[in-house]
Amino acid sequence: MTMNEAPRFSEERLQEIQALVARYPGPQSALLPVLHMAQEDFGYLSLDVQKYVAEVLGLTLIQVREVVTFYTMFREQPCGKYLMEVCTNASCMLNGADELVRHMCDKLGIKVGETTPDGMFTVTEVECAGACSGAPVVQINNVYHENVDAAYIDAFIEKASKEDAA
Ligand code: FES
């Protein structure tokens, strides 16, 4: 999708959505999975994408926005090539998540929720990732990294940057 192009699902995706909606008593029940599909297809849930999802499911924009703004897993802004989501709930916080977030932001020169100017890294905080025994946990592009410390993150950033430059 280019900048000014209206968001449109592919035919295959629309069929997938139709099949999904048919399994539920009403289209609103399919909203969560359809938002995941939209985020996967369009990169993030811009207002235009949210309007389009509302149109596809026959819902109001506010019904869509209520869900999008409630869950931290939905993004309304574009993110970097590497989305680094740090869990800052109890177990992770007690195991250094706050210090880890500070370290990541200092190293990358950004604040929480921001993306590096080269478009490579975004740092966000999320609620419990459901892997508390591996605290602190960082999800990077949906892959769990457990027992993460500053050295681990430094090595990850260095490797990812080198790979991108190659
Ligand atoms: S508190 Fe971080 S994974 Fe549960």
Q: In what order do the strands lie in the sheet with 138-140?
A: 121-126, 82-87, 138-140, 143-145
What are the C-alpha distances in Å from 69 to residues 38, 76, 91, 150? 15, 8, 25, 30
- pLDDT, tens digit, 9 for 90 and up, residues 27-57: 999 999 999 999 999 989 999 999 999 999 9
Q: How far is the CA of 118 from the centre of ligand 1 (A)?
A: 30
Q: Is 137 in the pocket of ligand 1 (CB under 6 A)?
A: yes
pTM of structure: 0.77
> Which numbered atom of ligand 1 lies nearest the CA of 91?
1
Q: How far is the CA of 127 from the centre of ligand 1 (A)?
A: 7
Q: Is 92 in the pocket of ligand 1 (CB under 6 A)?
A: yes
**Quick one: which H or E segment has residue 31?**
helix 31-42
Q: Is 30 in the pocket of ligand 1 (CB under 6 A)?
A: no
> Which numbered atom of ligand 1 lies nearest the CA of 87?
2
- pLDDT, tens digit, 9 for 90 and up, residues 71-117: 988 999 899 999 999 999 999 999 999 999 999 999 999 999 999 99
